[in-house]
Amino acid sequence: MRRVTLTQFLIEQQRAGRITADLRLLIEVVARAVKAISVNVSKGALAGVLGEAGTDNVQGEAQKKLDVIANEILLQANEWGGHLAAMASEEVETVHQIPFDYPKGGFLLLFDPLDGSSNIDVNISVGTIFSVLRNPPGGEQPNEDSFLQPGREQVAAGYAVYGPSTQFVLTVGQGVHAFTLDREMGSFIYTHPFMTIPEETREYAINASNARFWEKPVQRYIDELQQGKTGPRGVDFNMRWVASMVSDVHRILTRGGIFMYPMDDKCRDKGGKLRLMYEANPMAMLVEQAGGAASTGRERILDVQPRELHQRVPVILGSRAEVERVTEYHRET
C-alpha cells in the first residue's frame, strides 16, 4: 500500500489548484513546528518542561513551561519563510510582526500553541490549533484590524493532537484530512481521508461543574440527555470531557458527538470562555468541513465579526442535528 506523506498530499492539492505554493509551504512549516512541540511534550519530566513558567499570558492565566516553549517554536519556525505578513498568538497580547530583514508573504497565521495545557502535568493529551487568513490588500504592515476577519474568510485551519500518537488534522476548504506522525521516518503519513462527523450522536462533552451557571436552553438540553431512555430523547447518552478542546473535538471528528462551552453567568462579562480567533474559528471550519455544525447558540460561529484579537465567544459544535437542537432552544428562549 502506497504511503502518502503530508508533503505529497499538499503538492497534489497545489497541482489541483486548491492551494497556492505559498500556502503549501506555510502549512509544511507549521507541521515541522508541530513535530518539535511533539518531541518536547513527549519528554515531559525527562526534559524538565513540566510545571509553571512563573508568568501569565495576556488573559491573566498562569502559563506552563510548555506553553512558552510551544509559542516560541511556532514563532521562530514561521518568521523567516517569507509566507507570512504577521502572526498572532493566544499567549501574546499584540500582533507579532515579521522581522524587517526577512521577506514577507500574503498570509496571516493565528495559533493557540498548546491547548489544554492544564493537562500537561497529569500526562493527558494536549494540542496545537492554528488558523490561516489572507492579509487584506494594502496591509503591508499588518495591525490588529488586519486579523479581524470572520471565520468564513479562513483559507486553512487545523490542529495537532499530542496523544498516544501525534496527529495533524487539516482543512484547506476541501474536507478534513488527518495525518499521523511516523517518528522513525520523521514524516506525517496520510491516515484519515475525508473525516466525517455523523449527523446524530449519543455522546456529549461539557464541563458539568458549571451546570448551576448555565442559561436555560443549555440546562433544558442537558437535562433531556441525562434523562436517557426514560426522557424525551428515548435513548441513553454518555458524557465525555477531557478539558482539552483539541482532544474533545478530535473525538467528535472521529466518532461524532457534541462539544459545548456555552455562555454562562461565570463568563458572561467576558463574552464567553473560548477565544474566537484561536480556538472557535479554526475548529468551526474543521467541523463544518466534516459535515457538522458550529454555533454560539445565537449565530453561526464562522459569521461572527471579530471586534478584538482576543475576543471570547460561546461554542457549541459537533453533530449537526444536536447543534441545531441546542440552537433552536436558544431561539425559543
The pLDDT tens digits for 24-65 are: 999 999 999 999 999 988 887 776 766 665 565 556 555 678
Q: Is 54 annotated as a binding residue?
A: no
The pLDDT tens digits for 286-333 are: 999 999 999 999 999 999 999 999 999 999 999 999 999 999 999 998
Per-domain residue ranges for the chain?
Answer: 6-192, 203-332
Q: How far is CA 137 from CA 99, 151, 263, in A?
A: 20, 18, 35
Q: Is 112 annotated as a binding residue?
A: yes
Per-residue pLDDT for 269 more than 90? yes
Q: Is 274 annotated as a binding residue?
A: no
Q: Is 116 annotated as a binding residue?
A: yes
Structurally, at CATH architecture level, domain 6-192 sits in: 2-Layer Sandwich (3.30)
Q: Is 114 annotated as a binding residue?
A: yes
Q: Is 118 annotated as a binding residue?
A: yes
Average of per-residue pLDDT across 73-88: 94
The pLDDT tens digits for 166-223 are: 999 999 999 999 999 999 999 999 999 999 998 888 999 999 999 999 999 999 999 9
Nearest to 169 by CA among 209, 129, 215, 208: 129
Q: Is 117 annotated as a binding residue?
A: yes
Report yes or no: 181 and 163 within 8 Å, Cβ to Cβ.
no
Q: Is 28 annotated as a binding residue?
A: no
248-273: string of b/e by CB count within 10 Å (b at 16+)?
bbbbbbeebbbbbbbbbeebeeeebb
C-alpha 319/C-alpha 211 separation (Å) is 22
Check if CATH label 3.40.190.80 holds for domain 203-332: yes
